[in-house]
């Protein structure tokens, strides 16, 4: 199992239109998804983070495919960047 973090920039003016689309995507892909943002706005941009804890290795590809048709075009400034994290093994 992995934890997937997807982050991107959103123009502050577009945030109200984007939020329900991201939440609808998260509902479609399932799991215990979270949607977060940095508290500050820089140059009119917010940084958003989608968090998908405890997903399987195939989940990133499924999420990427689902995001293609989610209506994000023109609402995100730049690419969606994904990072995968795993738990550290316990010390012996």
- Where residue 72 falls (left for φ over 0; alpha for ψ -120 to 50; beta otherwise) is alpha
| Strand, helix or coil for residue 4 | strand
pLDDT tier at 92 (50, 70, 90 boundaries)? low
pLDDT score recorded for residue 75: 95
Cα–Cα distance for residue pair 42/11, rounded to 1 Å: 10
pLDDT (0 to 100) of residue 9? 97
Between 73 and 3, name the one with better pLDDT. Answer: 3
> What mean pLDDT comes out for the span 48-76?
95
Q: Strand, helix or coil at 75?
A: coil
Residue 90 confidence class, pLDDT cut points 50, 70, 90 = confident
């Amino acid at each position: 199992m992995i934890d997937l973090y997807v982050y991107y920039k959103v123009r502050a003016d577009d945030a109200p239109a984007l939020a329900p689309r991201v939440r609808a995507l998260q509902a479609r892909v399932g799991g215990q998804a979270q949607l977060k943002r940095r508290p500050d706005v820089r140059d009119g941009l917010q940084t958003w983070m989608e968090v998908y804890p405890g997903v399987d290795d195939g989940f990133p590809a499924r999420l990427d495919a689902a995001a293609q048709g989610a209506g994000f075009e023109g609402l995100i400034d730049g690419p969606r960047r994904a990072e995968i994290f795993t738990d550290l093994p316990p010390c012996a």
